[in-house]
Amino acid sequence: MTSDLTQIDGLAYLVYRSSAVDHLNDEDLQDILTSARDRNEENAVTGCLHCEDGMFFQWIEGPAQAIHMIGNLILNDPRHYDVTVLGQGALDARRFPDWRMRFSGRSNGSLMDWFASSDISTFDRKEYVGGVVTFLASIDI
């Protein structure tokens, strides 16, 4: 199975984690969400963004070409750094069909606490990525 988004015909996803720049404030976050939701809607992209302890975890899903394009915009955005793509590829069905970009913070759920109470080894990359995705999907907003 290819992880090259340009080679995928249907739906695709991309999940990453990054560090927010130190000076990022609530207004910056609102700006990010407003432009993200506008562009996502135009491109039939849905997903979620989780922010905790200065780190972002984001899942985006939609037509593969749109995920490729928006993924590149996100990866090059100077409002965060150390962007690490955890996974990308073809997707059977959307996980966040009702969200142009759901946002959650620590008050909605803590990934760190969730990992601490799970049996998942965060040193095993596959387990770690699976855990991040399971956690994001489990948040109830």
Ligand X SMILES: Cc1cc2nc3c(=O)[nH]c(=O)nc-3n(C[C@H](O)[C@H](O)[C@H](O)COP(=O)(O)O)c2cc1C
Nearer to ligand X, 39 or 128 (CB): 39
∠ CA 76-92-133, nearest 5°, is: 55
Closest distance of CB 61 from ligand X, Å: 10
Q: 39 vs 129, which CB is nearer to ligand X?
A: 39
Question: Whose Cβ is closer to ligand X: residue 29's or residue 120's?
Answer: 29
Q: Distance (Å, rounded) from C-alpha 72 to C-alpha 120?
A: 30
Round to whole Å and give the CA distance between 11 and 8.
8
CB of 75 to ligand X, least distance (A): 8
Nearest distance from residue 41's CB to ligand X, in Å?
Answer: 9
- Give whichever of 36 and 132 is closer to ligand X, judged by the CB atom: 36
Query: Of 3, 23, 125, 15, which is closest to residue 75 (Cα–Cα)?
Result: 15
Sites of contact with ligand X (CB under 6 A) = 32, 35-36, 39-40, 49, 56, 58, 60, 70, 73-74, 77, 79-80, 101
Beta-carbon contacts of residue 114 (< 8 Å; ≥ 6 apart): 131, 135, 138
Q: How far is the CB of 137 from ligand X (least distance, A)?
A: 17
- Between CA 85 and CA 140, with CA 88 as vertex, the angle to 5 degrees is 85
